[in-house]
Amino acid sequence: SQTIHQWPATLVQPVGSPLSLECTVEGTSNPNLYWYRQAAGRGLQLLFYSVGIGQISSEVPQNLSASRPQDRQFILSSKKLLLSDSGFYLCAWTKAREGAWSNQPQHFGDGTRLSIL
Amino acid sequence: SQQGEEDPQALSIQEGENATMNCSYKTSINNLQWYRQNSGRGLVHLILIRSNEREKHSGRLRVTLDTSKKSSSLLITASRAADTASYFCATVDSNYQLIWGAGTKLIIKP
């Protein structure tokens, strides 16, 4: 069966510090991968998605970047965190189909709660 | 941008009652999906309904889709305390863009 892991679960970082959040998927090959941010009590905002190694699409211009160094690894990074980067970050995957979006359900990790001080 | 809108924003009912949540959207869709999110956790997929379907069931869940009104409803029958969560709809439009609503927070009172 497929599983998705995100870490860390919680993170408290000072303004201006770097960030690296990691997401890995097991039990499937060539998944489509997604990074979302969720503000408190709100819906999901898509940040990045990837259909393959080294292929990253950005949905929202911002202080963050994403990388996919391996087929089932997706990393969210920042060189200098801002207060506005606080939030709940979720990684998700779908089975590979034509294009990034498909009729497949998304499978989510348990998220990382990021607090910027 | 988030074009899906859930209604109501919050719903509190007694255990055993039925809970109905609605989702409206603005563009034509390929499919519509409902997800549940327990507090502080990731989202869990519940049901996917395609644009050519009108109703779908899964256990105590019933989803309807009215493409003429651009709306969907999620009915949870015989609610349980474990159903307490936020529920989100997500639409996949004809350009295969996934659009999320802001969610309905459901509280089941024992």
Asked if residues A75 and A67 have their Cβ atoms less than 8 Å apart, the reply is yes
Which token pair is A14?
Answer: 């000072």
pLDDT at A74 over 60: yes
Tell me how close the Cα of B36 comes to any Cα of chain A, in angstroms.
Answer: 11
Instruction: Report in angstroms the alpha-carbon separations of B3 from A71, A87, A107, B58.
Output: 31, 21, 21, 26
Contact A37, A87 (CB under 8 A): yes
* pLDDT reading at B69 higher than 60: yes
A96 part of contact set with chain B, CB < 8 Å? no
B75 touching A, CB under 8 A? no
Cβ-Cβ pairs closer than 8 A, A with B, add up to 60
Are residues B43 and A103, on separate chains, in Cβ contact within 8 Å?
no
Contact B52, B66 (CB under 8 A): no
Predicted confidence (pLDDT) per residue in B30-45, tens digit = 889 999 999 989 999 9
Cβ contacts of B88 on chain A, cutoff 8 Å: 43-44
Q: What is the pLDDT of residue A41?
A: 78
Can you tell me the mean pLDDT for A42-56? Answer: 90
Name the helix (H) or strand (E) containing B36. strand B29-37
Compute CA B108 distance to the chain's CA centroid, rounded to the nearest angstrom.
16
Q: Is B25 helix (H, G, I), strand (E, B) or coil?
A: coil
A72-81, A94-103, B11-20, B57-66: least confident range: A94-103
Contact present, A110 and A10 (Cβ < 8 Å): no
Query: From CA B1, how far away is CA A34, in angstroms rounded?
Result: 16
Q: Which pLDDT score, from 0 to 100, does residue A61 have?
A: 67
Closest chain A CA to residue B93 = A101
Which pLDDT score, from 0 to 100, does residue B1 have?
32
User: Which residue carries 């024992």 as its tokens?
Assistant: B110
* B105 contact A CB<8A: yes
**Bridge partners of residue B107, in order along the sequence:** B12
Residue A113 contacts B, CB cutoff 8 Å: yes
Phi then psi for A84, rounded to 5 degrees? -70, -5
User: Does residue B2 have a pLDDT over 60?
Assistant: no
B59 in reach of chain A (CB within 8 A): no
Q: Which of A15, A21, A76 is nearest to A47 (CA)?
A: A76
